[in-house]
Amino acid sequence: MPSDKLRILLVGNGGREHVLAWKLAQSDKVECIHVVPGNGGTAGVEKCQNITSVKDTDCAALVKHANDHNLNFLIPGPEAPLVAGITDHFNKYAPTVQVFGPSEAAARMEGSKTFSKDFMKRHMIPTAAYENFTDYNAARNYLDVVSHPVVIKADGLAGGKGVIIPKDNREARHALESIMANHDFGDAGNSVVVEEFLEGDEISILSFSDGETILSLPPAQDHKRIGDGDTGPNTGGMGTYAPTPLVTKAQLAEIDRTVLQPTIDGMKKENMPFRGCLFTGLMLTKTGPKVLEYNVRFGDPESQSCLPLLRNDLAELMQACCIGTLAKHTLSIAELSACTVVVAAAGYPGSYAKGTAMKVSVPKKEEGMYLFHAGTSLGEDEQLRTSGGRVIAATATGSTLREAVDKAYKGVGMIEFEGMQFRKDIAARALK
């Protein structure tokens, strides 16, 4: 007899997928989790198995795998499959599989920056002033007349590299040339957003939504630059902590009222209801919180700090998002702080070596310390090796932020591989 338990297909191979697998495995509702392709961390999670025989970008193969193994719940981890329409594909070809993730139409909120800026304008959601361009010369001319410092953003997905913050007009012209004339980001640069440079503290909010109700996890702060003191090139994120005290309760209420609920309402009104995890990046400016961007999936590393603070059954929440019953739930958040320190390979975010042997000791369950893997793989010889730029991260919870940070760095001490690098100042701004 088929059980009503969730048999999950989880797509992705980062720290986000490890923390999702870890949290989902704790649910009585979850029977098994197939991670495509997974990493050296997900391989060891209870109820989990890594599936490397199926290509994570091949929707037809993923449907076949789900059917062959009687899986009934799909979670696409990263943005690429969502923007490519994996949700609609499953709805069409595997309609009995529930999907935690937005439709292709709704995923444009991340997949196209010009689309999301126009959406915000239509719904009067506070964001940086901007103009969209498809014509290179028009964009160049605009740089000469615009009165504020600008940020230039390639429209499409660019793996976190499509945003350029020029120091002056010359660099701005150079950025436009790179994106629009030289096509350095391929089709992602066919159009650009030229927007106002905003000053302030940056925060991330992860929210669950079923298309009508929105419930948010504690606000997190990421550290994008590779170097201490926010120096050096941008990365996928070198560490997070949550909740960040840089945003007040009153500001959070304002963000709910002026940004989050209007976003969900606007998407519903435009026939692209948002079901899944909405990530809202905000700048807390002198004139109020303003949206930097939306992502349509869990943030990484934010989810590694936020999900250990969530007391609810994650599988239950995700299912409520799929069937439209989120209003019946409230989030139960531990009165703790969490901190995540990412450990990267030497050279990252530039080129880096892969296949370096690693030694990792596993923290005891009761310690409130977790090691979530990202770019690791477990060989047939059972040797853990590096396989990516962001390799692994140490997360800890504590009754104070100080305690969480100190414990997270203790966790970093349990990781050993040649050339490992990490920031020493995660959460420093909040601890000042």
Ligand X SMILES: Nc1ncnc2c1ncn2[C@@H]1O[C@H](COP(=O)(O)OP(=O)(O)O)[C@@H](O)[C@H]1O
Instruction: Enumerate binding residues for ligand X (CB under 6 A).
Output: 128, 151, 160, 162-163, 165, 195-198, 202, 224, 281, 292-293
Please identify, using beta-carbon distances, which residue of 18 and 290 lies nearer to ligand X. Answer: 290
Would the CA dihedral through 349, 355, 359, 363 be positive or negative?
positive
The answer to whether 393 and 344 are in contact (CB under 8 A) is no
Report the residue number, 202 or 316, with the smaller CB distance to ligand X: 202
How near is the Cβ of 185 to ligand X at its closest, in Å? Answer: 11
* Beta carbon nearer to ligand X, 69 or 224: 224
CA distance 325 to 320: 5
Shortest distance, position 250 Cβ to ligand X, whole Å: 23
Q: Give least dist CB 164 to ligand X, A.
A: 9
Distant-in-sequence, close-in-space partners of 107: CB < 8 Å, separation ≥ 6: 79, 82, 83, 85, 87, 101, 296
CA 431 to CA 288: how far, in whole Å? 23
Q: State which H helix or E strand residue 2 sits in.
A: none
Between CA 160 and CA 378 the distance in angstroms is 27
Q: What whole-number distance in Å separates Cα of residue 260 and Cα of residue 213? A: 10
Q: Which is nearer to ligand X, 299 or 411 (CB)?
A: 299
Angle, alpha carbons 180-181-182 (nearest 5°): 105
Q: Which residue is nearest to ligand X (CB)?
A: 293
Residue nearer to ligand X on the CB measure, 198 or 320 = 198
CB of 266 to ligand X, least distance (A): 19
CA angle 25, 27, 31 (to 5 degrees): 65
d(CA 43, CA 297): 22
Distance of closest approach, residue 280 Cβ to ligand X, in angstroms: 10
* Identity of the residue, 54 or 188, whose beta carbon is nearer to ligand X in the bound complex: 188
* In the complex, minimum distance from the CB of residue 106 to ligand X, in angstroms, rounded to a whole number: 17
To ligand X, the closest distance from the beta carbon of 291 in angstroms equals 9
User: Is 17 or 222 the residue whose CB approaches ligand X more closely?
Assistant: 222
